[in-house]
Amino acid sequence: MQSKSNTPESNIEYPPLRFRLFMTVVLSFYLFCLILILSPDSALRNQLYKPVYPFLSALGFWQSWNVFAPTIRTENFHLLATITFTDGTTALWEFPRQDLLTGVEQMRAERFRKWANDRIRYHEYGFLQPDAARYIARLHHTESALPKTVELTFFSIPIPPPTEGIDKALPEHTRHKTFFVYDVQPEDLK
């Protein structure tokens, strides 16, 4: 018969209790946030959601179920940025479009696409637009090309009803609207 060792190493819990308690609190908080996200709109839900939204947004944990309900999307769209340089030239930069990517690329770009299509475009998330414009300006900044302005534009087309659009490719996005123009500052390019 083998005797149990009474050395200090044999009394160590794995994982330690404080780690398990910490993870329980983190997971409980995350589940609470998910329940808030999935709950129907109400005054109580919105009051509880307001303080946790910055946390969820910063980590990319927010969800948006507006494809399904309560209002189904009626248009198909994508975003485009026009960068005007100090020498007068322009460049175009397109936010990720799922219809132009392969399966693996679609998975990799989904959060970025969701951020652009579900946040950047809408007025209530206007506080994100300057950051998006600065990001795009930095992408196009070189020693010989200094971005002067960044315009964010969305192109759209109404989604045809299923009776007309089944087994057909979606129509091209022919309507467009510039919804944000940003004047690039020198400190934005650092």
Judged against a pLDDT cut of 80, whether residue 59 lies above it is answered with no
Q: Is the pLDDT of residue 135 over 90?
A: yes
pLDDT of residue 121: 86
Answer yes or no: do 149 and 80 share one domain: yes
Is position 67 within any domain? no
Is 101 in the same domain as 183? yes
Give the whole-angstrom CA distance, residue 189 versus residue 134. Answer: 7
Residue 7 above 70 pLDDT?
Answer: no
Please say whether the beta carbons of 170 and 99 come within 8 A.
yes
Same domain, 103 and 46: no
Same-domain pairing of 55 and 125: no
Angle at 64 between CA 59 and CA 67, to 5 degrees: 150
Do 42 and 12 share a domain, yes or no?
yes
Residue 64 lies in a domain: no
Of the ranges 72-81, 109-118, 147-156, 163-172, which is most confident? 147-156
- 55 and 80 together in one domain: no
* Mean pLDDT of all residues belonging to the chain: 85
Question: Are residues 44 and 104 both part of a single domain?
Answer: no
Q: Which residue has the higher pLDDT, 143 or 149?
A: 149
53 lies in the same domain as 84: no
Q: Are residues 26 and 90 in the same domain?
A: no
H or E stretch covering 116: none
Do residues 81 and 166 both lie within one domain?
A: yes
Pair (92, 184) in one structural domain: yes
Q: Is residue 2 included in any domain, yes or no?
A: no
Pair 35, 102 in one domain: no
Residue 66: pLDDT over 90: no
Q: What is the mean pLDDT of residues 79-94?
A: 95
What is the pLDDT, as a whole number, of residue 147? Answer: 96
14 lies in which domain range?
A: 8-59
DSSP H helical ranges for the chain:
17-38, 43-59, 103-115, 129-139, 162-165
- If one counts the domains in the chain, the total is 2
Q: What are residue 147's DSSP bridge partners?
A: 85
